Amino acid sequence: KQEVTQIPAALSVPEGENLVLNCSFTDSAIYNLQWFRQDPGKGLTSLLLIQSSQREQTSGRLNASLDKSSGRSTLYIAASQPGDSATYLCAPEAQKLVFGQGTRLTINP
């Protein structure tokens, strides 16, 4: 059974900092891994999808890496902005997505 852990559970940083969110998973037999953003009371917005054969993906200020063999992924956010404040969820997929509890990120102006 896939288990996903995200560290830290919460993070508060001043605007402009670069930061890293960590995700670990127990079963490396995955098709891909997605990172999502969730604003309070809202659905999930897909940020990045990394196929199992890839090492990383970039979109704007976001960069996600995947090390399938060690069961780890990281999401790097450059030059953080207050609008980045949200909960970030990673989810490896093998037929279905399995989620961790997420990292609640607060960017202070």
Which residues make up the interface to other proteins (CB under 8 A)?
4, 31-32, 34, 36, 41-46, 49, 51, 89, 91, 93, 95-102
What angle is formed at CA 38 by the lines to CA 68 and CA 92, rounded to 5 degrees?
A: 20
Query: What is the closest distance, in whole angstroms, from the C-beta atom of residue 100 to other proteins in the complex?
Result: 5
Beta bridge partner(s), residue 74:
22, 65
Half-sphere exposure of 18 (CA within 13 A, CB side): 6
Q: How far is the CB of 13 from other proteins (least distance, A)?
A: 21
Supply the minimum distance, in Å, between the C-beta of residue 83 and other proteins.
Answer: 19
